[in-house]
Amino acid sequence: MNLFVSFPVDDIERAKAFYSALGLTVNEAMSDHNTSCFVLDDDKFLMISTRAAYAAVGGTEELVGTSGTPSPITLSWAMSSREEVDALLERAEKAGGRIGDTDDYDFMYQRQFDDPEGYHYSPFWMKPETGA
Protein backbone atom coordinates (compact mmCIF):
# COMPACT_ATOMS: atom_id res chain seq x y z
CA MET A 1 0.00 0.00 0.00
CA ASN A 2 1.37 3.41 -0.96
CA LEU A 3 1.08 6.26 1.49
CA PHE A 4 0.89 9.89 0.41
CA VAL A 5 0.84 12.71 2.90
CA SER A 6 -0.33 15.89 1.17
CA PHE A 7 -0.57 19.49 2.28
CA PRO A 8 -0.54 23.05 0.92
CA VAL A 9 2.29 25.57 1.21
CA ASP A 10 2.61 29.30 0.58
CA ASP A 11 5.89 29.13 -1.30
CA ILE A 12 6.47 25.97 -3.35
CA GLU A 13 10.10 26.82 -4.14
CA ARG A 14 10.95 27.45 -0.46
CA ALA A 15 9.29 24.16 0.48
CA LYS A 16 11.15 22.28 -2.27
CA ALA A 17 14.45 23.72 -1.05
CA PHE A 18 13.68 22.73 2.55
CA TYR A 19 12.76 19.11 1.79
CA SER A 20 15.65 18.74 -0.64
CA ALA A 21 17.99 19.97 2.12
CA LEU A 22 16.65 17.18 4.34
CA GLY A 23 17.94 14.73 1.76
CA LEU A 24 14.60 13.81 0.17
CA THR A 25 14.48 13.33 -3.59
CA VAL A 26 11.78 14.60 -5.92
CA ASN A 27 9.75 12.19 -8.03
CA GLU A 28 9.74 14.35 -11.17
CA ALA A 29 7.02 12.26 -12.86
CA MET A 30 4.59 13.27 -10.10
CA SER A 31 5.66 16.92 -9.86
CA ASP A 32 5.01 20.13 -11.75
CA HIS A 33 5.15 23.89 -11.08
CA ASN A 34 2.28 23.62 -8.53
CA THR A 35 3.13 20.32 -6.81
CA SER A 36 6.25 18.43 -5.74
CA CYS A 37 6.30 14.78 -4.77
CA PHE A 38 9.12 13.80 -2.41
CA VAL A 39 10.07 10.15 -1.93
CA LEU A 40 10.20 9.05 1.71
CA ASP A 41 10.48 5.34 0.92
CA ASP A 42 9.59 2.96 -1.92
CA ASP A 43 5.88 3.30 -1.16
CA LYS A 44 5.66 6.49 0.93
CA PHE A 45 5.51 10.01 -0.48
CA LEU A 46 5.22 13.60 0.70
CA MET A 47 3.15 15.77 -1.65
CA ILE A 48 3.39 19.54 -1.32
CA SER A 49 1.21 21.82 -3.44
CA THR A 50 0.41 25.47 -3.79
CA ARG A 51 -2.68 26.36 -1.79
CA ALA A 52 -4.68 26.78 -5.02
CA ALA A 53 -3.63 23.36 -6.36
CA TYR A 54 -4.32 21.69 -3.03
CA ALA A 55 -7.78 23.26 -2.73
CA ALA A 56 -8.66 22.15 -6.28
CA VAL A 57 -8.37 18.45 -5.39
CA GLY A 58 -11.45 16.79 -3.95
CA GLY A 59 -13.10 19.83 -2.39
CA THR A 60 -10.51 20.40 0.32
CA GLU A 61 -10.96 24.17 0.52
CA GLU A 62 -11.92 24.00 4.22
CA LEU A 63 -8.68 22.14 5.03
CA VAL A 64 -6.28 24.56 3.38
CA GLY A 65 -5.67 26.93 6.28
CA THR A 66 -3.40 29.94 5.92
CA SER A 67 0.26 30.71 6.40
CA GLY A 68 1.13 30.14 10.04
CA THR A 69 -2.04 28.12 10.63
CA PRO A 70 -1.52 24.99 8.54
CA SER A 71 -3.78 21.95 8.49
CA PRO A 72 -3.15 20.04 11.74
CA ILE A 73 -1.02 16.98 10.96
CA THR A 74 1.96 15.22 12.46
CA LEU A 75 3.98 12.90 10.31
CA SER A 76 5.93 10.25 12.20
CA TRP A 77 8.16 7.55 10.78
CA ALA A 78 10.69 5.04 12.06
CA MET A 79 14.35 5.49 11.28
CA SER A 80 17.11 2.89 11.56
CA SER A 81 19.06 4.47 14.44
CA ARG A 82 19.14 7.21 17.02
CA GLU A 83 22.03 8.79 15.09
CA GLU A 84 19.93 8.85 11.91
CA VAL A 85 17.17 10.72 13.78
CA ASP A 86 19.69 13.25 15.11
CA ALA A 87 21.28 13.73 11.68
CA LEU A 88 17.87 14.47 10.14
CA LEU A 89 17.15 17.05 12.85
CA GLU A 90 20.51 18.71 12.22
CA ARG A 91 19.66 19.01 8.52
CA ALA A 92 16.18 20.31 9.36
CA GLU A 93 17.62 23.03 11.60
CA LYS A 94 20.20 24.08 9.00
CA ALA A 95 17.43 24.24 6.37
CA GLY A 96 15.33 26.62 8.49
CA GLY A 97 13.20 24.21 10.51
CA ARG A 98 12.19 24.88 14.11
CA ILE A 99 13.47 22.15 16.40
CA GLY A 100 11.16 20.97 19.15
CA ASP A 101 11.26 18.44 21.95
CA THR A 102 13.34 15.30 22.27
CA ASP A 103 11.62 12.35 23.93
CA ASP A 104 13.83 9.52 25.17
CA TYR A 105 11.46 6.83 26.41
CA ASP A 106 12.38 3.33 27.58
CA PHE A 107 11.13 1.96 24.25
CA MET A 108 11.71 4.80 21.78
CA TYR A 109 13.84 7.83 20.95
CA GLN A 110 11.83 10.57 19.24
CA ARG A 111 12.56 14.13 18.09
CA GLN A 112 10.29 16.90 16.85
CA PHE A 113 10.64 19.59 14.20
CA ASP A 114 8.45 21.97 12.23
CA ASP A 115 9.12 22.94 8.64
CA PRO A 116 9.07 26.63 7.57
CA GLU A 117 5.29 26.40 6.93
CA GLY A 118 4.65 25.10 10.46
CA TYR A 119 3.95 21.44 9.64
CA HIS A 120 5.02 19.10 12.42
CA TYR A 121 7.27 16.03 12.10
CA SER A 122 8.26 13.44 14.64
CA PRO A 123 10.86 10.92 13.39
CA PHE A 124 11.69 8.16 15.85
CA TRP A 125 13.83 5.11 16.51
CA MET A 126 12.41 2.08 18.32
CA LYS A 127 14.93 0.67 20.78
CA PRO A 128 15.67 -2.97 19.90
CA GLU A 129 15.66 -4.19 23.50
CA THR A 130 11.93 -3.41 23.73
CA GLY A 131 11.07 -6.16 21.27
CA ALA A 132 9.07 -3.70 19.15
Candidate from 41-45, 53-57, 68-72 with smallest mean pLDDT: 68-72
The CATH architecture to which 1-57 belongs is Roll (3.10)
Candidate from 20-24, 55-59, 77-81 with smallest mean pLDDT: 55-59
Q: List the strands of the sheet with 44-50, edge to edge.
A: 3-9, 44-50, 35-41, 25-26
pTM of the shown model: 0.70
Q: Which residue intervals of the chain bear CATH 3.10.180.10?
A: 1-57, 74-132
3-class secondary-structure state, position 55: helix
Q: What is the CATH number of domain 74-132?
A: 3.10.180.10
